[in-house]
Amino acid sequence: MRATAGIVETDRGSLQEFAALESTVRLYCRTFDRVFARARGAALFDQDGRRFIDFLSGASVVNYGHNNPRIKRAVIDYLEDDGVLHSLDLHTTAKLAFLRKFRDLILTPRGLDYRVQCCGPTGADAVEAALKLARKVTNRSTVVAFSNAYHGMTLGALAVTANPRKRASAGVPLEHVLRMPFHGRLGAGIDTVQVLRAALTRERAVKPGAIIVETVQAEGGINVASPEWLRGLSELASAEGIPLIVDDIQVGCGRTSDFFSFERAGIRPDIVCVSKAIGGIGMPMALALIKPELDLWKPGEHTGTFRGNNLAFVAAAAALDYWRDDALARQVAKHGLLMRDRLAAIAARHPEHCTEVRGIGMIQGLVWRDGQLATAVSRAAFARSLIVETCGPDGEVTKLLPPLVIGADELEEGLAILSEAADEVAAQAALRPAIRQTRQATSAP
């Protein structure tokens, strides 16, 4: 098939149709401009059969790999048995099987006692539910949120999101939020929990109704809160009678190696928002985990047509089998060290362009001095058949999110591609001053 400007002709025609038929709000497809037809494990295949290694994983949705055979088999069996697909929030065997397994494999072994609220099928709705419930419990409206936070694009979630470009889409004032500095935001010598404590205890301070935090700010630039900082935040929230909400939507379900990203700190949040990978193989699903004493909802106070997709319950229950032992957690920790090592090698080769490596487990990032360089690396990697995105306030971080179940060889292959792409972009950046000087010299009178 003849290629033109990197796009095969069959793709070009399809892309033109998408441009004519789909809203301009589309995003990821603008960067990764292929029409994908199949997926398996850690790979996507376009409609012409070209294989792409996936270091995006649907923004951490596909933790267990595309079309994971074990999970897919459970879904197929359920469909073939005429299992209930849509049920509003009626009791179903699929829901009960998931709830039992989640209790037995996830909550009880960790000493956690949560009621499970089935939300609408997106993480943003879990955040909305958590904020509403915390405000109902405390009868207070203000929520503490942090610099560089990202919690979703619906109005409540957007209010606690920090990115000004995303907030600008609201069209209305986003109020009742006290924005505080995240861990490390004010430099290594300043404990930002103490900054928050001072704000909460000053004279005439209005006590907030909740604190919402990501233990790892994924979209915000892969900023990792230390266990000590998280414990301090939890202790402050408890002392002040403020419900602590952990948004575990992107970095939960094993991404940091533990099932919950807050386990390393030994804390027990009042409410936990879970989505993305909880659906097993990409089935839409979102949960709010609520301490029993805070479960003060009246029936139907937070409702929706798709609260509990039965296929998602089936897929999620099958995925939980990975947590019967610690094999996956150990693999995530091992692969995370490999990813960090390879990124550190890139940074060491290009200190003039790269400032640091960030991350934990299998969410790792390379920070560039210029967001344009990070974007160029993503494009160069995609040209070599690797899908990897950027994050951070200015898109300055190359963000790696491979499926947790990726094999060592495929992980190494993807990291080698990324290394080649980074070297190419750094070399081009080094040439720019010389080219600029040459052009200036030749254009001089």
Task: Dump pLDDT digits (tens) for 385-399.
Answer: 999 999 999 999 999
Give the model's confidence band at 444: pLDDT under 50 very low, under 70 low, under 90 confident, else very high.
low
- What's residue 270's pLDDT? 98
- What's residue 434's pLDDT? 44
Better-scored residue on pLDDT, 204 or 41: 41
Residue 1 has pLDDT above 50, yes or no: no
**C-alpha distance from residue 344 to each of 339, 349, 367 (Å):** 9, 9, 10
- What's residue 3's pLDDT? 41
- What's residue 9's pLDDT? 57
- What's residue 203's pLDDT? 80
- Read off the pLDDT of each residue in 293-298 and give the average, rounded to a whole number: 98
Give the model's confidence band at 8: pLDDT under 50 very low, under 70 low, under 90 confident, else very high.
low
Give the model's confidence band at 308: pLDDT under 50 very low, under 70 low, under 90 confident, else very high.
confident
- Read off the pLDDT of each residue in 29-53 and give the average, rounded to a whole number: 96
**C-alpha distance from residue 444 to each of 432, 433, 436, 438 (Å):** 18, 16, 12, 10
- Average pLDDT over the chain reads 94
> Which residues in the chain are classed under CATH 3.90.1150.10?
10-67+327-437
> Which residues in the chain are classed under CATH 3.40.640.10?
83-323
- What's residue 144's pLDDT? 98
CA dist., res. 147 & res. 284, Å (int): 28
141 burial (CB, 10 Å; 0-12 / 13-18 / 19+) is middle
Mention every residue, 6+ apart, whose C-beta is less than 8 A from residue 336: 257, 359, 360, 361, 362, 364
Greatest CA separation for the chain:
82
Share of the chain above pLDDT 70, in %: 95
Give the model's confidence band at 280: pLDDT under 50 very low, under 70 low, under 90 confident, else very high.
very high
- Read off the pLDDT of each residue in 304-318 and give the average, rounded to a whole number: 94
Better-scored residue on pLDDT, 363 or 308: 363
Q: Do the Cβ atoms of 397 and 222 come closer than 8 Å?
A: yes
> Residue with structure tokens 């470009």?
165
Better-scored residue on pLDDT, 436 or 366: 366
- What's residue 445's pLDDT? 55
Cα atoms found within 13 Å of the Cα of residue 142, Cβ hemisphere only: 10
Residue 442 has pLDDT above 70, yes or no: no
- Read off the pLDDT of each residue in 104-128 and give the average, rounded to a whole number: 97
Residue 327 has pLDDT above 50, yes or no: yes
Pick the CATH number of 10-67+327-437 from 3.90.1150.10, 3.40.50.2300, 3.60.70.12, 3.40.50.720: 3.90.1150.10
- What's residue 275's pLDDT? 98
- Alpha-carbon torsion (153, 146, 64, 336), positive or negative: positive
Residue 439 has pLDDT above 70, yes or no: no
- What's residue 205's pLDDT? 85
**Could you tell me how far CA 434 lies from the centroid of its own chain?**
39
Assigned fold of 83-323: Aspartate Aminotransferase; domain 2 (3.40.640)
